Amino acid sequence: MEVLVEPFVESSFMFRALVAGVLVAVACAVIGTFVVLRGLAFIGDALAHGVLPGIAAAILLGLPGMLGAALGAVVMIGGVTLVTSRTRLSSDTAIGLLFVAMLALGVVIVSATGAFQGDLLAILFGQILGTSTEQLVVMAIATAVVVAIALVAARPFLLLSFDPEQADVAGFSSRRYHALMLLLVALTVVVAFQTVGTLLVFGMLLAPAATGALVADRIGRMMIIGVVVGSLSTYAGLLASYWFDVAASATIVLIAVTIFFVVLAISSVRAPRQAGGRTDPVTGETAP
């Protein structure tokens, strides 16, 4: 029992890391649910890595990294919007173009100075074990904001996931709420990268929500399952990192993705759907 609890009681840095991870898990499960349902994974990935040049430039100029990350996210979303609205290219292409350019720019900035190669690793993989109390406060506020906005905009977000045209016809502008959704993804990425790294943010956006999608029959439950999976992964990953001295962020992501595949395997065994089909009690039709 002590093995499971001791690290978080004995070392305050482990406790802060756990709180940081759970905060990220909550924000990511809520907004990640929509990322998964709306097929926004690529823009999530692009945002998670496209903020790199902003962060690098900010560190270079001695400004807060978060400011640079926010600027990077704005450029990313603005660029994608520009390309998709001015051309007939799909958003995949637009996102890919911006993503590659931003990542390349980030590496160029880092390599030109050569001073903080270690920082590059920190940006990608985070320093969850080095989370400060101030960072926790900022993350708690950001998580609260993400959850509050998602609750207020729950109806348009659901309509958007169901069919964007239905959102428009119901009087909720699909463009406006799509932009708000991207903004929440960006906010989550920008606030979380410092502690858990851009890689973990992206993993946490996808894996827990995708696990929820496998078993949930409504969106609220999908989010709750996402929070549980994300928090469990954080706890288990930190524990593994403490006792076996492995990289914390990477272990957390690995556990989250592993949980997804385990749940997938279990749910495929339990419900061999599509196989037999079900007969409908009303029409007598058999579902495909």
Confirm if 188 and 28 have CB atoms less than 8 A apart.
Answer: yes
Count of beta carbons in the 10 Å neighbourhood of residue 206 = 23
Nearest approach, Cβ of 233 to other proteins (angstroms)? 21
Task: Return the residue of 175, 221, 265, 266 that touches other proteins, per CB under 8 A.
Answer: 221
Q: Which of residues 50-89 bind other proteins (CB under 8 A)?
A: none
Amino acid making up residue 14: M
Region of 5-13, 100-108, 117-125, 159-167 interacting with other proteins (CB under 8 A): 159-167
Nearest approach, Cβ of 181 to other proteins (angstroms)? 15
The answer to the question of residue 281 lying near other proteins (CB under 8 A) is yes
The answer to the question of residue 175 lying near other proteins (CB under 8 A) is no
Task: Return the residue of 153, 182, 205, 207 that touches other proteins, per CB under 8 A.
Answer: 153
DSSP per position, 110-177 = HHHH-TTHHHHHHHHH--GGG--HHHHHHHHHHHHHHHHHHHHTHHHHHHHHH-HHHHHHTT--HHHH
Count of beta carbons in the 10 Å neighbourhood of residue 241 = 21
CB closer to other proteins out of 56 and 223:
223
The answer to the question of residue 287 lying near other proteins (CB under 8 A) is yes
Task: Return the residue of 62, 114, 276, 288 that touches other proteins, per CB under 8 A.
Answer: 288
Question: What's phi and psi for 51, nearest 5 deg?
Answer: -80, -10
Task: Return the residue of 103, 168, 264, 267 that touches other proteins, per CB under 8 A.
Answer: 168
CB closer to other proteins out of 135 and 211:
211
The answer to the question of residue 18 lying near other proteins (CB under 8 A) is no
Count of beta carbons in the 10 Å neighbourhood of residue 55 = 30
| CA dist list (Å): 2 to 8, 87, 265 | 10, 60, 32
Region of 20-28, 55-63, 152-160, 199-207 interacting with other proteins (CB under 8 A): 152-160
Region of 11-19, 35-43, 65-73, 95-103 interacting with other proteins (CB under 8 A): 35-43
Q: What is the SS3 assignment for 286? A: strand
For Cα atoms 236, 242, 244, give the angle at the middle one, nearest 5 degrees: 90
The answer to the question of residue 280 lying near other proteins (CB under 8 A) is yes
Interface size with other proteins, residues (CB under 8 A): 38
As a whole number of angstroms, the distance between CA 36 and CA 201 comes to 14
